[in-house]
Amino acid sequence: MKIAAFGFCCVDVYENLHKQYATGNGIDCIVNLAKKGVQGSAVTVVGDDAYGKEVFELCEKYGIDTSHIQVRHGSTSVFKMALKNGVDRVHLQNIPGVMEHYVPTREDLEFVKTHDYVHTDMYGKVLPFLPELKAAGCRIVLDFSLNKDFDKIGPVLRSTDYGFFSFEERAEEIKDFLKQAHSYGPAVVAATFGKQGSMCYDGERFYEQGILPAPVVNTVGAGDSFIAGFMYGVMNGWDIPACQDSGTRTAAEIVQLFTPY
C-alpha cells in the first residue's frame, strides 16, 4: 500500500520556545504511517530556504519519497505558533510563502495516481484535482478539520472516501451532521472531539470511542495521528472499531511528544 500527502505543508515555529518542526496535515499523517511501515510520498511545494530544507530532511528521515516536492524561489509556508495552558497549540499567524501559488504539474498528478491512497485537506490548492484522482482509482482521505459548511464541503465530499472532521466537543446533533456528510458518498466519515474521543459513521451505524489517558506535552498532531492510525487499520482490512482503536492509540502516543510524529 502507498499513500501520498498531496498539497499543503509548512513549518510550525514556536518563537518563544525556540522550537520548530516541518509539518502539515498530510505530512504528519504519512510520517506516522511511515513509522508503521507504510510507504509514503510528499507532493507539495517548499521554498529554497532553510525551512524547505527541514521538510526534505524530515521526509528523508522516514523514507518518504520527495521526488515530487517542488522547490520554488522564496519562503516555505510558516505557521507561527504558541501553547495555551502549556499544552494546547494555538495558531498565531500563517505566512503562506510559495504555497500561496502552488500548482501541481501534470507529472505530479500522474505520480499521485500511482498511490492507493491520497491524503489532503481544504488548504493545499489541490481540491479541483480530486475527481480525476478518484476516477484513477485512488482512495481519497480528506481532513476537513473545522470546515462544516456543506456549500463548501459538499462538492469535496463527493470525491472523498474517508472524511475526518474536528469538533470542540460531543453533541447529539453531530450524528445528523455525519449522516448528511455521508450522504455525499464517502465510505466512512468520522468526528474527533479532543478529550471526548471520536465517532464514526458508515451509513449503517455509529461507532463511538473514548480516549486513552496519557500525559499531554502538546496537542498538535492529535487529529493527524488519529487519521494515520485509523487509515493503517483500513489498509489492513480491519473493521471500524479496530480502526478507531488504532487511531486512538496512535493519537495517545503523539500527544506525549512535542512534535506531531
pLDDT digits 0-9 by tens, 234-253: 999 999 999 999 999 999 99
Mean of per-residue pLDDT scores for the chain: 96
CA 119 from centre of chain:
6
pLDDT digits 0-9 by tens, 34-59: 999 999 999 999 999 999 999 999 99
Residue 218 lies in a domain: yes
Residue 260 lies in a domain: no
CATH number where 172 lies:
3.40.1190.20
Residue 77 lies in a domain: yes
**Please, are residues 34 and 64 in contact by the beta-carbon 8 Å criterion?**
yes
Which residues span the domain enclosing 170? Answer: 2-254
> Measured between alpha carbons, how far is residue 45 from residues 49, 68, 126, 252, 261 in Å?
12, 8, 12, 30, 20
pLDDT digits 0-9 by tens, 57-85: 999 999 999 999 999 999 999 999 988 87
pLDDT digits 0-9 by tens, 199-224: 999 999 999 999 998 999 988 899 99
Q: How many domains does the chain have?
A: 1
Identify which of 139, 7, 1 has the alpha carbon closest to the alpha carbon of residue 70.
Answer: 7
Identify which of 79, 82, 17 has the alpha carbon closest to the alpha carbon of residue 51.
Answer: 79
Residue 261 lies in a domain: no
Residue 259 lies in a domain: no
Residue 219 lies in a domain: yes
pLDDT at residue 88 in the model: 77
